[in-house]
Amino acid sequence: MDPIPYGAQWIDEADIQAVCGVLRGELITQGPVADQFERKICELTGAKYCVCLANATAALHLAVMAFDLKKGTEGITSTNTFVASSNAFVYSGLKPVLADIDPRTFNVFPEDLAKRINKNTRVIIPVHFAGQPCDMKAIRDLAGKGIKIVEDAAHAIGSRYADGSLVGGCKYSEMTVFSFHPVKTITSGEGGAITTNDPALYDRLRAMRISGMVKETLKNKPGPWYYEVQYLGYNYRLTDIHCALGLSQLGKLGKFVERRRQIVARYNKEFASIPCMTTPYERPDVFSAFHLYVSLIDFNKLGKSRKQVIEELVAQKIGTQVHYIPVHEQPYYRANYGYKHGDLPNSEKYYEHALSIPLYPKMTDEQVEHVLKHVKRVLGFVGVARRGF
Ligand SMILES: Cc1ncc(COP(=O)(O)O)c(C=O)c1O
């Protein structure tokens, strides 16, 4: 059996043909296919506008920067995230304030966020960890009109809030960010996007993506060559080569999410009997696209270290990962923002126990059964029939 990673893309012949179609044409950098990709994302999420970008790190960077905030003000995000969520504040000169997580959903929650809001708070970036949407209505109520919200939905394309609406529609936020890295629910190789319903933010993001240049919308141009640099910007374009793949993949979003949820259901059923393992919790009122299958393992009770468990699974060609080392425990954040161990206890406890088990739509039933068999064995569960021998 081939190695089973913790996550992987699923590329089919239609995806390959879509990319080849761009390569055979004239335009290979950002062009008409990027426009189509953006329109499709709007269609799928219900957002009015979409700006596709080189990756979600760039998207988070531009999203915070588009608010044009004073240096030294503050932004809050989860400590249980990929560091790009909090780096977005640092790039714009904001102080990153890290929030603790709910022990069941592993997401930021209103009561903890409320404690971290002060007169300098300007932005909150809730991260929909593993695909499970945060309690956005409560977070919007907390933020009011004065604090902006950028949802980090890198894990959550295809997820739905408690009210049934789709993540990305920006019902509760100024902007939502997606990632199309290969382990994500759909991929464009590398890639990201921002959705918004605000036309002014949309215009600004589009300019910032191309070095801050404004051209088409300028009135009274002296000639066709003319453009103006109105903002500080970057080259964060996503090429049509990437967009062709992303667009083709978006057509399979429903199928991919369904397969992920099928595997999750199978895992949950089988793993429920492992005494040292807690399977992921999905709030009954939300719908998670399940980017990750994060289990909590009581390594003390098991009598094995996490490293030992990982190695025993690797021996069976099963890859795992830990999502995430809390951001406040990272040396850069400790050194520059004074964080220390003990500051955010829920996330630290979570980190001691977390292990992501393989989950991706291309997994075959045979691979799923292989994972089930070996995870159960490595975690010491030998089955009811053998108890007492
Ligand atoms: C929660 C979260 N935010 C942002 C990012 C950054 O995404 P990208 O790799 O597209 O820059 C990631 C990537 O893993 C992520 O998991």
Domains for the chain: give ranges and CATH numbers: 13-250 (3.40.640.10), 253-386 (3.90.1150.10)
For residue 57, the ligand 1 atom closest to its alpha carbon is 11
Residue 35 reports pLDDT greater than 60: yes
Residue 331 reports pLDDT greater than 60: yes
Which has the minimum average pLDDT: 196-205, 234-243, 375-384? 375-384
Instruction: Return the C-alpha torsion angle 112, 118, 122, 124, nearest 10.
Output: 0
Q: In the structure encoding, which two tokens stand for residue 244, read together?
A: 């062709």
Residue 383 reports pLDDT greater than 90: no
Per DSSP, the chain holds a count of helices (H) and strands (E) of 14, 12
Q: Is the CB of 80 under 6 A from ligand 1?
A: no
Strand 192-196 with 49-53, pairing: antiparallel
Q: Is the CB of 84 under 6 A from ligand 1?
A: yes
Looking at residue 266, its pLDDT comes to: 98
Looking at residue 382, its pLDDT comes to: 61
Cα–Cα distance measured from residue 154 to residue 159, given in angstroms and rounded to the nearest whole number: 11
Looking at residue 1, its pLDDT comes to: 85
Question: How far is the CA of 367 from the CAs of 50, 180, 370, in angstroms?
Answer: 37, 24, 5
Ligand 1 probe mutation, 6, 52, 57, 107, most atoms within 8 A of CB:
57
In sign, the C-alpha dihedral spanning 368, 373, 378, 384 is positive
Of residues 382 and 169, more confidently modeled: 169
Q: Is the CB of 184 under 6 A from ligand 1?
A: no
Mean pLDDT of all residues in 67-87: 98
Give the Å distance between the CA of 268 and the centre of ligand 1: 26
Q: Is the CB of 57 under 6 A from ligand 1?
A: yes
Residue 385 reports pLDDT greater than 70: no
Cα–Cα distance measured from residue 187 to residue 56, given in angstroms and rounded to the nearest whole number: 12
Looking at residue 37, its pLDDT comes to: 98
Taking alpha carbons only, the member of 119, 110, 155, 192 closest to residue 291 is: 155
Looking at residue 389, its pLDDT comes to: 41
Q: In the structure encoding, which two tokens stand for residue 267, read together?
A: 């895992």
Q: Is the CB of 282 under 6 A from ligand 1?
A: no
Backbone angles phi, psi at 79, to 5 degrees: -80, -20
Mean pLDDT of all residues in 162-191: 98
Residue 388 reports pLDDT greater than 90: no
Share of the chain above pLDDT 70, in %: 98
Backbone dihedral region for residue 98 (phi beyond 0: left; psi -120 to 50: alpha; all else: beta): beta
Mean pLDDT of all residues in 256-262: 98
Give the Å distance between the CA of 224 and the centre of ligand 1: 38
Q: In 10 A of CB 338, how many CB atoms? A: 9
Give the Å distance between the CA of 324 and the centre of ligand 1: 12
Confidence class for position 28, pLDDT limits 50, 70, 90: very high
Give the Å distance between the CA of 180 and the centre of ligand 1: 9
Mean pLDDT of all residues in 331-355: 98
Cα–Cα distance measured from residue 262 to residue 247, given in angstroms and rounded to the nearest whole number: 24
Looking at residue 386, its pLDDT comes to: 43
Residue nearest to atom 16 of ligand 1 (CA): 82
Mean pLDDT of all residues in 230-257: 98
Asked whether the beta carbons of 267 and 279 are under 8 A apart, the reply is yes
Q: In 10 A of CB 11, how many CB atoms? A: 16
Give the Å distance between the CA of 227 and the centre of ligand 1: 32
For residue 324, the ligand 1 atom closest to its alpha carbon is 16
Sheet order of strands, 148-152 included? 49-53, 192-196, 175-179, 148-152, 121-125, 74-78, 95-99
Give the angle 58-59-64 at the CA atoms, nearest 5°: 100
Cα–Cα distance measured from residue 215 to residue 291, given in angstroms and rounded to the nearest whole number: 38
Ligand 1 probe mutation, 179, 180, 194, 347, most atoms within 8 A of CB:
179
Taking alpha carbons only, the member of 306, 367, 285, 354 closest to residue 326 is: 354
Give the Å distance between the CA of 153 and the centre of ligand 1: 9
Q: Is the CB of 82 under 6 A from ligand 1?
A: yes
Q: Is the CB of 131 under 6 A from ligand 1?
A: no
Give the angle 115-116-119 at the CA atoms, nearest 5°: 110
Give the Å distance between the CA of 85 and the centre of ligand 1: 7
What DSSP state is assigned to residue 108?
B
Looking at residue 267, its pLDDT comes to: 98
Give the Å distance between the CA of 141 and the centre of ligand 1: 26
Residue 103 reports pLDDT greater than 80: yes
Looking at residue 387, its pLDDT comes to: 41
Q: What is the mean pLDDT of the chain?
A: 97
